[in-house]
Every structure is written in structure tokens, then in C-alpha cells.
Amino acid sequence: MRYLIWILLLFAAAVALVSAAHNPGYVVLVYSSYRIELSLTLFVVALLGLFAVLFVLQRLASAVVRLPGRVRDFRAARALSKQRKSRDEALNAFFAGSFGQAEKLAVQAMRDGDDSALLPVVAARSAHEQHAPARRDTYLETLQGRPGEAEMLRLLSEAKFLLDHKDDKAVLALLPALYDKAGKNHAGVLALELKARQLHGDWARVLTLVAQMEKRSLLDSMAAATIRQHAWLERLRAQETAEGVTACLQDMPGEIRQQGSVAVAAVSALIRLGQCEAVKRLLTDALESHWSGELVGLYAECATAGDDILSSIAQAEKWLVQHPDDAGLLRALGRLCLRRQLWGKAQNYLEASLSVAPSREAYTALAQLFQQTQKPDLAAQNYQRAATFQ
């Protein structure tokens, strides 16, 4: 359709030219004593030519007027492209671990006029990795008072730096401002709080945060299970009464309570609190259901009186029938016999434990035995062997 219109216009133009060529009309221009006479066709052509010249002059004048603005726009676009390039290079260097180069590029981009809040953060974190706190704090100060995400990025970076220096109290003091800026469910703030609460020993809050982050898929199940188990263990170790230990065990999820490390922590806490009877019951029940060499090693700590020690030895020797090569059980029997002054049996059990798995505890107990039986040379040798273990 477009081509048809052009063809029609060309035919119309041809007809107009032919008509104009045979047009007998003319135009007379008179000015004072001057008289100009020309054909109508020439006048029309001249008029069209004058219009074309004026149109070109107008476009040229408009281009000249707009030229400074276009130059400014071109320079601004070139500067913006340079800033973006410097910013991208700074980010690439930072994530590649080239912190010196990242800081240099970020500073250069800021000098070029890039006001992105990312650049001071990249420069500050790069300086932090280079152990330059003065430069780091100077970069962060450039974000002070800036609206929007700049303040949130500054607070997040400051909290991370404090956390790297193990200053959990300062991080916890920043949390209200962080949550106010970022919201209650910001992933980065939740992760910072989790680390700060772990450092601070606020294990109840740690458990709450782990549940919240796992629900939102901010922690994988394996990491969440590890942190949760550690938090329960620390809560258990922090108890100051036997009732507290019992209550903590009751509140603990079943899959964690069955872990051997939990039983060891509970037994250690009860021994520290002087609850030997409760320890013996707990140990006996735990070992009957799930044998643990580490757990049985604590069995010697439970007996105090003579008859109690003898009953503990009898129970341990029953277990020895089923677990004859357990180094922890042999060591516990040796220590029990040592406390009952059964020197021969104690030495046999301790040496048997060392033959299965050498340990500092067994060497120390053996050294104490030789010391009490007036054999200082052998005692010294075993103390030296015990010192080789960390």
C-alpha cells in the first residue's frame, strides 16, 4: 500500500511539473524604480528553495543551541559508564579476595562521583580484611546520615566488624536499630543475631532463631541440627542445680536427649553438683540402652564411700564381660580400684586400658598409683607420658 501511494504522488508531481511548464502566468515584483518580472513556475521554485534554505538554517541554529546540552549529556554518560566500570571492577576484586585492589578501585569510583552506597561498604570491608580499622571507619562515616539502604548497609557492616572482634554486647546493642531499618525478618540481620547470641551464651534465643531461620530456609537442616544440639548442650552445662539439669533434660527434644554427648554433659553437670546417686542411675540406664566408652569413663567419678566403690566395681566388671576391650571401661575400673586401694587390680586395669588406647587420664592414674605405692621413678615416668597428651 505504501508503494502505491508513492507511485501516485510521483505521477501527481509529474503532472504538476508538466502543467507548470506550459503555464503562461508570470509574477511581477516592483520596488520603487525596480521591476522584476519572472514566470510563475520560476517564482514557485524559488519560493520552495527559499523555504528549504530557511528550514536548514533553522535546524542548524537549533543544533547549535542544543550542542552544549548534548556535550554535557555525553560527558555525563561517559562519566557514568566509567563509574559503573570502576564499581564492577571493585566488586569483582572484592569477591575474588583482592582486598587491596578492591579498596583502591572503590575509592577511585567514589572520587569519580559515584554515590552508590555499595562503594563505601566495599572499601570498608576491604580495609577491615587488611586490618586497617582507621581507614575502615573513615569509609563507613561517609554513609552516616544518608537515607534509605545506606544506613542499613552501614549498620550491617559495623555489626559484622564488631562480631569479628567478638564484641557480642556491642552487636546486640545495634540490633534494635538494624531491625528498625531492615525489618524483623531480614536474613542478614537474623544471621548476625544468631552469631552474636551464640557468643553471648543466650542459648534460649539461639534455639528460637534457629527454628525461625530453618522455617524460612535460611539454614539447611544439617546446620540447624548442629547448632540446635550445641545450644541444648550449653544450656545443660549452664545449669546450677540438679533440678535445673533434670528440667533441661525433660525440655530437650528426644532425638537430642539420646545423643551420647548429651548424656556426658548431664553426668558431668550432676557430678559437679555432687549428685552422685542421680549420676549412677543416669549412667546405668544410659549404658544399658546405649553403650558409650566416653560415658563409662565417667563412672569412676560417681563412687565416694568404700562400699559404694565396691558395688561400682562389681557393676563395672559385669559390663567388662560384654566389653572386654573397652579402654574407657578399663580405665574407670582402674581408677575405682585405685580409690579402694586395690593396687594390683588397679595397675592391671590401667595397663590394659593403655594397651588398648593410651590416654592422659590412664597415665595420670597409673602415676598416682606408683606415687602412693612409693615408686617415685615409675610415677615420674607416667606423669611425663601423660604430659605428652593435649
According to the model, what pLDDT value does residue 380 have?
Answer: 92
**Over residues 18-44, mean pLDDT:** 71
| Three-state SS sequence of the chain | CHHHHHHHHHHHHHHHHHHHHCCCCEEEEEECCEEEEEEHHHHHHHHHHHHHHHHHHHHHHHHHHHHHHHHHHHHHHHHHHHHHHHHHHHHHHHHCCCHHHHHHHHHHHHHCCCCCCHHHHHHHHHHHHCCCHHHHHHHHHCCCCCCCHHHHHHHHHHHHHHHHCCCHHHHHHHHHHHHHHHCCCCHHHHHHHHHHHHHHCCHHHHHHHHHHHHHCCCCCHHHHHHHHHHHHHHHHHCCCCHHHHHHHHHHCCHHHHCCHHHHHHHHHHHHHCCCHHHHHHHHHHHHHHCCCHHHHCCHHHCCCCHHHHHHHHHHHHHHHHHCCCCHHHHHHHHHHHHHCCCHHHHHHHHHHHHHHCCCHHHHHHHHHHHHHCCCHHHHHHHHHHHHCCC
pLDDT digits (tens, 9 = 90+) for 264-310: 777 777 777 777 767 777 777 777 767 777 777 777 776 554 557 88
Q: What is the CATH number of domain 319-390?
A: 1.25.40.10
pLDDT of 10 over the 80 cut:
no
Give the pLDDT band of residue 372 (cuts 50, 70, 90): very high
According to the model, what pLDDT value does residue 195 have?
Answer: 93
* pTM given for the model: 0.62
Rounded Cα distance between 23 and 40, Å, is 8
Low-confidence winner among 271-275, 342-346, 363-367 (lowest mean pLDDT): 271-275
How remote is the C-alpha of 78 from its chain's centroid?
A: 36
pLDDT of 350 over the 80 cut:
yes
Give the pLDDT band of residue 384 (cuts 50, 70, 90): very high
**Over residues 159-169, mean pLDDT:** 90
- Report domain extents, the chain: 319-390
Rounded Cα distance between 298 and 8, Å, is 108
Which residue reads 554513609 in cell numbers?
A: 143
Q: CA 223 → CA 167, 168, 181, 256, distances in Å?
A: 23, 21, 28, 14
pLDDT digits (tens, 9 = 90+) for 47-60: 777 888 888 888 88
According to the model, what pLDDT value does residue 88 have?
Answer: 83
Q: Around Cβ 141, how many Cβ atoms within 10 Å?
A: 12
According to the model, what pLDDT value does residue 197 have?
Answer: 92
Structural contact between residues 350 and 331, judged by C-beta atoms closer than 8 angstroms: yes
Instruction: Determine phi and psi for 13, rounding to 5 degrees.
Output: -65, -40
According to the model, what pLDDT value does residue 198 have?
Answer: 92
pLDDT of 261 over the 90 cut:
no
Give the pLDDT band of residue 348 (cuts 50, 70, 90): very high
According to the model, what pLDDT value does residue 292 have?
Answer: 72
Q: Around Cβ 14, how many Cβ atoms within 10 Å?
A: 10
> Which one of 6-15, 196-205, 258-267 scores highest in mean pLDDT?
196-205
**Over residues 238-264, mean pLDDT:** 78
Give the pLDDT band of residue 206 (cuts 50, 70, 90): very high
- Of 162, 165, 157, 152, the residue nearest 140 (C-alpha): 157
Q: Which residues pair with 28 in a beta bridge?
A: 37
pLDDT digits (tens, 9 = 90+) for 88-133: 888 898 888 899 999 998 888 888 778 888 888 889 999 999 999 8
According to the model, what pLDDT value does residue 12 have?
Answer: 58
Structural contact between residues 219 and 207, judged by C-beta atoms closer than 8 angstroms: no
Rounded Cα distance between 163 and 195, Å, is 8
Give the pLDDT band of residue 259 (cuts 50, 70, 90): confident
Note the maximum CA span of the chain. 152
Quick one: cell of 289?
Answer: 540402652
Q: Which residues pair with 36 in a beta bridge?
A: 29
Give the pLDDT band of residue 19 (cuts 50, 70, 90): low
Rounded Cα distance between 260 and 287, Å, is 10
First to last CA, the chain: 94
Rounded Cα distance between 156 and 163, Å, is 10
According to the model, what pLDDT value does residue 367 have?
Answer: 92
Give the pLDDT band of residue 20 (cuts 50, 70, 90): low
pLDDT of 37 over the 90 cut:
no
**Over residues 321-330, mean pLDDT:** 86
According to the model, what pLDDT value does residue 1 have?
Answer: 65
